[in-house]
Amino acid sequence: MNLEQELGRLREYLRIKPLYWDQDRGEFVWLDTRLIPFEEVYRRTRDYSRVAKAIRDMEIRGAPAIGVAAAFGMALAALYNNAGDEEELIAHLEKARRELASTRPTAFNLFWALDRVMARVESERSRGFDKIVDGVLDEALRIYIEDIKNNIMIGRHGSKLIEENDTILTHCNTGALATAGFGTALGVIRYAWYEGKNIRVITTETRPVLQGARLNVWELKKEGIPFKLIVDSAVGIVFRQNLANKAIVGADRIILTGHVANKIGTYVVALSAWHNNKPFYVAAPTSTIQPVNDPSAIVIEERSHDEIRKIMGKYPLTLDGVDAYNPAFDVTPPELISGIITERGVAEKPFKETLTAIINHR
Ligand code: MRU
Ligand 1 geometric centre to CA of 165 (Å):
27
Whether omega before 18 lies within 30 degrees of 0, making that bond cis, reads: no
Q: How far apart are CA 281 and CA 278, in angstroms?
A: 10
Q: Let me know whether 122 and 213 are in one domain.
A: no
Q: Let me know whether 116 and 196 are in one domain.
A: no
Q: Let me know whether 118 and 203 are in one domain.
A: no
State the CATH number of the domain containing residue 137. Answer: 1.20.120.420
Structurally, how many domains does the chain consist of?
A: 2
Give yes or no for a contact between 331 and 298, defined as CB atoms under 8 angstroms apart.
yes
Domain boundary among 115, 135, 152: 152
CB atoms near residue 177 (< 10 Å): 25
Domain boundary among 152, 175, 202: 152
Q: Let me know whether 112 and 227 are in one domain.
A: no
24: DSSP letter: T
Ligand 1 geometric centre to CA of 64 (Å):
8
State the CATH number of the domain containing residue 229. Answer: 3.40.50.10470
Q: Let me know whether 78 and 182 are in one domain.
A: no
pLDDT the model gives residue 3: 77
Q: Which of 146, 211, 197 is nearest to 342 (CA)?
A: 146
Is 138 known to be catalytic? no
Q: Let me know whether 162 and 40 are in one domain.
A: no
Domain of residue 216: give its range: 155-359
Average pLDDT over residues 173-181: 98
- C-beta 206 within 6 A of ligand 1: no
- C-beta 251 within 6 A of ligand 1: yes
Q: Let me know whether 39 and 142 are in one domain.
A: yes
First-to-last C-alpha distance (Å) of the chain: 20
Q: Let me know whether 204 and 244 are in one domain.
A: yes
Q: Let me know whether 266 and 335 are in one domain.
A: yes
- C-beta 61 within 6 A of ligand 1: yes
Domain boundary among 152, 180, 195: 152
284: DSSP letter: -
HEC string of 213-238 equals HHHHHHHHHHHCCCEEEECHHHHHHH
Q: Give the tens place of pLDDT for each residue, 294-352.
A: 999 999 999 999 999 998 888 999 999 999 999 999 999 999 999 999 999 999 999 99
Q: Which of 345, 357, 318, 307 is nearest to 161 (CA)?
A: 345
pLDDT the model gives residue 129: 97
Secondary-structure breakdown of the chain: helix, strand, coil percentages, each rounded to the nearest 5 = 50, 15, 35
Mean pLDDT of the residues in the chain:
96
Residue 66 CA: nearest ligand 1 atom is 4
Q: Let me know whether 352 and 203 are in one domain.
A: yes
Ligand 1 geometric centre to CA of 141 (Å):
22
Ligand 1 geometric centre to CA of 206 (Å):
11
- C-beta 172 within 6 A of ligand 1: yes
Strand residue runs (E) in 114-195: 167-170
Is 60 exceeded by the pLDDT of residue 362? no
In this structure, which residue's CA is closest to atom 8 in ligand 1? 263
Comparing 133-137, 147-151, 166-170, 358-362, the range with the smallest average pLDDT is: 358-362
297: DSSP letter: G
